[in-house]
């Protein structure tokens, strides 16, 4: 290796992982995958190069592990999915199952080393189904290798517990909380409700905790659209050793004044009185230890589609927020959607990177949204790197609703998802399908030249484009620091949203997802716009893989991702491009790995061009983000393949599949 090449490799290693020393041999941080997004800032970037464009087509299954944890929804339980992304630390692979079991595997063979079962109540109505996306790890440097719980594995469970396990043997760490666990349901707005009114499953956890210094930080998943006054979306930090609460932060602190009621008894909101909850951080959080910052992506306030009882912008819902990790106090916040009425959560995890603009290195946090907008913000201040303009958007025609007059539109990058759809653009594989979609779109507010992205819900019915599964989802993105490219999978999926007056909710029989929004004047019904063929009513591609030049704020390339050829049954030839739930990773060899599509495949793309180089069929769709590591000088790429918990067209599975070169 030449001195020049060694110097370049060292510089890249420092930039990515903040190394303090360098050796020619690979370090553990290069070969491991120690956190959900690999590094603490969630770049999902690996320095491994063994698998590259010249040999990726030779990848074969190295081993498969079956969790045996599957529910098809027929026994009173929710349907399960498998969304875990394993981590690799200290020579062991750690992952979670649909039933919240934590399993440790041999990374070379896939053989089980231990398993821990928290025995969750699988019968509760968890809104996200039976899923979990992974674990976090912490090393207690004050303990020796022979002492228990030196390395700890943390899981946040569906039934709202934070559990600490000894990484070596899978036993609960007795000194953490009460016999290894902390109960998380003691949040404002929850403890006052009996189970008949507020089922336990409405407040749960799906994403791994974040770890910074000696703190474990958790958010929550709170069901959408059940009622106005859902539990608080409080974010909390616990002592990594003892489980003691260190701080808590509420994105929308509760107003102590009760709502004023009109003569008819209907709540009448004022600027000083409102009822709400949620705005919870249900996605993955990331941290910057050097700056003592934790970055929180927040969702919508409750309920999603009627905001008459929560006037104003609802800060800090639908935002990305930087908190001082030691205290939980606000450093800065940036709101992506004001007074959300569309379920436009900040569901994608924040991503920390460094880019060069105007001759200066700028530390940034990248935050995408279901709208399809991507925001690039200065990591220290929250100020947009590319200008953001507040533009006027349509008003609401619903009595009692006051929609935000403006919304923030970034000048760059351009929208990554399609944000409009007209009846003239209706698509379908047959003329019958196209006629159906054309008629359905013609009845909706927000179609045509109107900006469907921010047209408020209506009693008539409103087009949401992208819908609540559109744009950038929890799948997130990966960043290549060498090429300054952000790679992200994006959904183009329209939905119809209709508000139902309270006195008509009980009698409404339309097929779709009903949200009662109790405590408000309106229930809600939403459904994706699909033709009789089950395929979406908008022109394909319904899913794309996009590479964004973060320094220029431009799209470098954009290609259809996967296929929906067999979705909903047999069709004639269908153009490529599938909706996807599961994100990408990037390697230093110039490869992007991603699954997530409704067709069950793991794929590899060239980072420079977006060309598909390889794909392998999986036992079920891989609705998770892959990871990669090196063990005994062999590089592995691992993906969870279990199908999706709410897409009945996808076959279910329980497989963790590892690929490697022969």
Point out the residues that are catalytic. Answer: 343
Q: Whole-angstrom distance between the N-terminal and C-terminal Cα of the chain? A: 26
Alpha-carbon gap, residue 100 to 102, rounded angstroms: 6
CB 45 within 8 A of CB 629: no
Q: Closest by alpha carbon to 45, among 472, 580, 487, 350? A: 487
pLDDT value at residue 190: 60
Distance CA(217)–CA(143), nearest Å, equals 22
Q: Are residues 147 and 225 in the same domain?
A: yes
Which residue, chain included where needed, has tokens 């080393």? Answer: 113
DSSP labels, 72-137: BS-SSSPBB------EEETTEEEEE-TT--EEEE-TTT--EEEEE-----TTS--TT-B-----EE
Question: Residue 255 — very low, low, confident or very high, per pLDDT cuts 50/70/90?
Answer: low
Other CB atoms within 10 A of residue 559 CB: 16
Place of tokens 């303990």: 143
Q: Which residues contact 107 (CB under 8 A, 6 or more apart)?
A: 88, 91, 92, 93, 629, 631, 636, 658
Same domain, residue pair 395 and 493 = yes
Model confidence band, residue 216 (pLDDT cutoffs 50, 70, 90): very high
Q: In which band, very low, low, confident or very high, does the pLDDT at 649 lie, cut at 50, 70 and 90?
A: low
Peptide bond into 413 cis (omega under 30): yes
- If phi over 0 gives left and psi between -120 and 50 gives alpha, with beta otherwise, what is residue 314? left
Residues 241 and 323 in one domain: yes
Among 37-51, 281-295, 564-578, the minimum mean pLDDT is found in 564-578
Encoded tokens for 386: 């590319």
Helix or strand (DSSP H, E) at 5: helix 3-17
Q: Are residues 18 and 155 in the same domain?
A: no
The HSE-up count of residue 87 (CA atoms within 13 Å, CB side) is 27
Under 8 Å between Cβ of 411 and 387: yes
Residues contacting 170, CB < 8 A, separation 6+:
102, 104, 113, 114, 115, 116
Question: Same domain, yes or no, for 23 and 139?
Answer: no
Residue 150 and residue 152: Cα distance in Å, rounded?
Answer: 6
CA 534 to chain centre: 25
Phi, psi of 521 (to 5 degrees): -75, -5
Cβ(458)–Cβ(445) under 8 Å? yes
Q: Do 82 and 127 have their domain in common?
A: yes
Res. 198: pLDDT tops 70: no
pLDDT on residue 273: 53
54 and 13 co-located in one domain: no
The predicted model gives 225-230 an average pLDDT of 87
- Calculate mean pLDDT across residues 426-438: 96
490 and 471 in contact (C-beta within 8 Å)? yes
- Would you say residue 489 has pLDDT above 80? yes
Q: Is residue 133 domain-shared with residue 4, that is, in the same domain? A: no
User: Is residue 554 located within the same domain as residue 525?
Assistant: yes
16 and 133 co-located in one domain: no
Confidence of residue 193 (pLDDT cuts 50, 70, 90): very low
> What is the per-residue burial (b if ≥16 Cβ within 10 Å, else e) of 248-287?
ebbbbeeeeeebeeeeeeebebeeebbbbbbbbbbbbbbb
Q: Kindly tell me if the per-residue pLDDT of 651 is higher than 70.
A: yes
Question: What DSSP designation does 28 have?
Answer: H
Q: Residue 223: what pLDDT?
A: 87
Between the alpha carbon of residue 365 and those of residues 71, 209, 250, 479, the distances in Å are: 37, 19, 21, 11
pLDDT tens, 46-80? 999 999 999 999 999 999 999 999 998 888 788 89
Lowest-confidence pick of 22-31, 64-73, 498-507, 582-591 = 22-31
pLDDT at 7 > cutoff 80? no
* Strand-strand pairing, 293-297 and 210-212: unpaired
Which letter, b or e, does each residue of 489-518 get, where b requires 16 or more Cβ atoms within 10 Å of its Cβ?
A: bbbbbbbbbbbbebeebeeeeeeeebbbbb
pTM, entire model: 0.93
Determine the number of helices (DSSP H) and then strands (DSSP E) in the chain: 3, 42
SS3 sequence of 338-362: CCCCCCCCCCCCCEEEEEEECCEEE
How does residue 200 score in pLDDT terms, banded at 50, 70 and 90? low
C-alpha 5/C-alpha 183 separation (Å) is 51
Q: What is the domain-level CATH number for residue 69?
A: 2.140.10.10
268: left (phi over 0), alpha (psi -120 to 50) or beta: beta
Separation between Cα atoms, residue 55 and residue 497, nearest integer Å: 47
Cβ neighbours of residue 586 closer than 8 Å, sequence gap 6 or more: 44, 45, 46, 478, 479, 480, 485, 487, 592, 593, 607
Kindly state whether residues 400 and 473 are assigned to the same domain: yes
Please give the mean pLDDT across all residues of the chain: 90
State which H helix or E strand residue 441 sits in: helix 431-442
At residue 630 the predicted structure's pLDDT band, cuts being 50, 70 and 90, is very high
Instruction: Please give the pLDDT value at position 72.
Output: 87
Q: Are 640 and 83 in contact (CB under 8 A)?
A: yes
Handedness of CA 505, 506, 508, 509 (dihedral sign): positive
Pairing of strands 585-587, 45-46: parallel
The model's confidence at residue 191, banded by pLDDT at 50, 70 and 90, is: low
Asked whether 108 and 631 are in contact (CB, 8 A), the reply is yes
Radius of gyration of the chain (CA): 24
pLDDT of residue 2: 40
> What local confidence, expressed as pLDDT, does residue 570 receive?
83
Span 373-395, pLDDT tens digits: 999 999 999 999 999 999 999 99
Say what the alpha-carbon torsion angle 436, 439, 441, 444 is, to the nearest 10 degrees. -140
Q: What digits encode the pLDDT tens for the residues 257-278?
A: 444 444 444 444 444 455 788 9
Counted domains in the chain: 2
Are residues 24 and 128 part of one domain? no
Q: Which domain holds residue 395?
A: 32-660
pLDDT above 90 as % of the chain: 79
| pLDDT tens by residue, 593-625 | 999 999 999 999 999 999 999 999 999 999 999
Rounded mean pLDDT, 337-344: 97
Instruction: Write down how long the chain is.
Output: 662
In the structure, what pLDDT confidence band is assigned to residue 227 with cuts at 50, 70 and 90? confident
What number of CA atoms fall less than 13 Å from residue 314's CA on the CB side?
A: 35
Rounded-to-integer distance, Cα 320 and Cα 317, Å = 9
């Amino acid at each position: 290796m030449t001195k020049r090449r060694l110097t370049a490799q060292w510089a890249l290693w420092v930039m990515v992982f903040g190394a303090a020393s360098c050796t020619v041999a690979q370090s553990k941080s290069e070969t491991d995958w120690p956190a959900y997004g690999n590094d603490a800032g969630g770049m999902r970037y690996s320095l491994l190069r063994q698998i590259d464009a010249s040999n990726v087509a030779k990848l074969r299954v190295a081993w498969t592990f079956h969790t045996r944890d599957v529910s098809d929804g027929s026994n009173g339980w929710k349907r399960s999915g498998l969304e875990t992304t394993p981590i690799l630390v200290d020579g062991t692979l750690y992952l979670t199952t649909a039933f919240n079991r934590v399993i440790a595997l041999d990374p070379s063979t896939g053989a089980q080393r231990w398993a821990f079962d928290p025995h969750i109540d699988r019968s509760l109505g968890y809104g996200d189904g039976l899923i979990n996306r992974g674990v976090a790890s912490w090393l207690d440097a004050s303990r020796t290798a022979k002492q228990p719980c030196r390395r700890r594995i943390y899981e946040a469970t569906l039934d709202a517990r934070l559990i600490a396990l000894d990484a070596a043997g899978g036993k609960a760490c007795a000194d953490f909380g009460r016999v290894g666990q902390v109960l998380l349901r003691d949040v404002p707005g929850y403890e006052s409700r009996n189970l008949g009114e507020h089922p336990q499953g409405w407040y749960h956890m799906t994403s791994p905790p974040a770890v910074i210094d000696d703190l474990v930080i958790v958010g929550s998943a709170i069901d959408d659209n059940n009622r106005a006054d859902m539990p608080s979306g409080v974010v909390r930090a616990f002592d990594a050793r003892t489980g003691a609460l260190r701080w808590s932060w509420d994105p929308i602190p509760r107003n102590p004044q009760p709502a004023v009621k009109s003569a008819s008894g209907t709540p009448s909101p004022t600027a000083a009185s409102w009822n709400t909850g949620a705005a919870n951080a249900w996605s993955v959080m990331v941290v910057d230890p050097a700056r003592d910052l934790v970055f929180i992506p927040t969702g919508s306030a409750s309920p999603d589609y009627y905001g008459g009882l929560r006037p104003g912008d609802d800060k800090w819902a639908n935002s990305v927020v930087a908190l001082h990790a030691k205290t939980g106090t606000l450093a800065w916040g940036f709101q992506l959607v004001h007074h959300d009425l569309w379920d436009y959560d900040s569901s994608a995890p924040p991503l920390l990177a460094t880019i060069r603009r105007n001759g200066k290195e700028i530390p940034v946090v990248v935050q995408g949204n279901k709208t399809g907008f991507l925001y690039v913000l200065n990591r220290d201040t929250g100020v947009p790197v590319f200008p953001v303009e507040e533009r006027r958007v349509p008003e609401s025609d619903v009595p009692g609703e006051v929609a935000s007059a403006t919304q923030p539109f970034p000048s760059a990058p351009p929208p990554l998802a399609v944000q409009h759809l007209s009846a003239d653009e209706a698509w379908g594989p047959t003329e019958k399908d196209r006629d159906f979609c054309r008629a359905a779109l013609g009845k909706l507010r927000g179609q045509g030249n109107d900006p469907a992205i921010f047209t408020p819900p209506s009693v008539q019915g409103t087009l949401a484009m992208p819908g609540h599964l559109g744009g950038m989802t929890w799948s997130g993105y990966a960043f290549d620091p060498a090429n300054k490219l952000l790679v992200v999978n994006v959904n183009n999926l329209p939905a119809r949203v209709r508000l139902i007056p309270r006195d008509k909710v009980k009698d409404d029989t339309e097929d779709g997802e009903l949200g009662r929004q109790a405590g408000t004047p309106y229930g809600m019904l939403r459904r994706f716009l699909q033709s009789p063929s089950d395929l979406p009513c908008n022109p394909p591609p319904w899913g794309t893989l996009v590479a964004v030049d973060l320094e220029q704020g431009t799209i470098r390339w954009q290609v259809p991702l996967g296929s929906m050829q067999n979705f909903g049954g047999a069709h004639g030839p269908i153009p490529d491009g599938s909706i996807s739930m599961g994100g990408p990773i990037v390697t230093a060899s110039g490869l992007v790995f991603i699954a997530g599509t409704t067709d069950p495949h793991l794929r590899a793309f060239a980072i420079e061009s977006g060309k598909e180089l390889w794909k392998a069929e999986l036992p079920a769709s891989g609705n998770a983000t892959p990871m990669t590591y090196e063990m005994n000088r062999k590089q592995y790429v691992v993906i969870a393949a279990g199908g999706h918990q709410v897409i009945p067209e996808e076959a279910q599975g329980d497989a963790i599949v590892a690929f490697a070169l022969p």
